Amino acid sequence: MRPRRSLGQSFLVDRFVADALAALAEPGSGRPVVEIGGGLGIVTRALLDRGVADLTVLERDPRLARHLRSTFGEAVDVVEQDAREYRVPDGATVVGSLPYSAATAIVLGLLPRRLPRIAVLLQKEVADRLAAGPGGRAYGRPSILARLYGEPELLREVGPEAFYPRPEVTSRLWAHTAGPGPLPVTSVPRLEELVRRLFSSRRKQLGNLLPALVGGSSAAERLAAEADWPKGWSRLRPEQLAPEAFFRASDRWTWRAGPPRTDSDPTAGPGPRP
């Protein structure tokens, strides 16, 4: 079965990697499992071998969906649908080797569902961003959102030889465990807007960025104090603040409607959304 370039297909063919991915899905938990991108069925087989009894496999390619149905029969429920349009059942685990072109959108769409466990194989650059801590170039909005919803884990790298055809990039296993209790912010859209505005000029110091958002230096000093930002915050850049600093600041930021965002004004943004 030939991969389709139009779908960006690159099949995982390494059984050891497939088994590692299945193990990360915590098959002994008894939770239903949704596999994204069944492909040739190598991860599907690993999940069944590890005892997963309630398994749904998403596969948008009709050829591969037919292959999976003929291979596994009634042992799995094959759904022919794009993962970005499928609603994963509450309480399910998500696992899969994600297509590079849609991986970030898929993961960021899953995080707000607060699913107990996500275990996926991603392009290394994407996995690094989703698990990055403050202080590096990889740290940004995806990193902060992953921390908002729980605990990300960055695991082993997977070389191109694990796929057919071989991609030009390295992959990496990434997992996420949902955090307990309420979220540490009262408004996720407000947090996302604050992070977007600050990181749109990430090389500037916060002492130059924050006053423009809150109406002046005095208001910026007050917000930073209320949010318990570190001493000397005005000389730091956004990438040097921990996620929790953004969480606290977003709850104290008065989000006012402003002029429409334009290319010449990267810090402008819309007013609150419903």
Give pLDDT tens digits for 84-143: 999 999 999 999 999 888 999 999 999 999 999 999 999 999 999 999 999 999 999 999
Phi and psi for 29 in degrees, rounded to 5?
A: -75, -20
What is the longest distance spanned by two Cα atoms in the chain?
67
DSSP symbols for 80-117: -S-GGG--PPTT-EEEEE--TTTHHHHHHHHGGGT-SE
- Side-chain half-sphere of 175: how many Cα atoms within 13 Å? 16
Specify the amino acid at residue 183: L
Give how far Cα 197 sits from Cα of 3, 137, 184, 187, 202, Å.
Answer: 40, 16, 20, 16, 9
Which of 8-17, 53-62, 179-188 comes out lowest in average pLDDT?
A: 8-17
The per-residue pLDDT for 264 is 33
**HEC string for 151-203:** EEEEEEEECHHHEECCCCCCEEEEEEEECCCCCCCCCHHHHHHHHHHHHCCCC
Q: What's the whole-model pTM score?
A: 0.89
Q: Which of 199, 200, 187, 180 is nearest to 249 (CA)?
A: 187
The residue range of the domain holding 200 is 188-252
Identify whether the C-beta of residue 135 lies closer than 8 Å to the C-beta of residue 240: yes
The CATH number of whichever domain residue 24 belongs to comes to 3.40.50.150
Do the domain assignments include residue 112? yes
Which of 124, 152, 178 is the C-terminal boundary of a domain?
178
The total domain count for the chain is 2
User: Distance between CA atoms of 140 and 159, rounded to whole angstroms?
Assistant: 25
Is there a single domain that holds both residue 213 and residue 137?
no
The CATH number of whichever domain residue 217 belongs to comes to 1.10.8
Give pLDDT tens digits for 147-177: 999 999 999 999 999 999 899 999 999 999 9
Phi and psi for 218 in degrees, rounded to 5?
A: -65, -45
Bridge partners (DSSP) listed for residue 11: 164
- Provide the angle, in degrees to the nearest 10, between the axes of the packed helices 206-214 and 217-226: 100
Give pLDDT tens digits for 2-41: 666 655 578 999 999 999 999 999 999 999 999 999 999 9
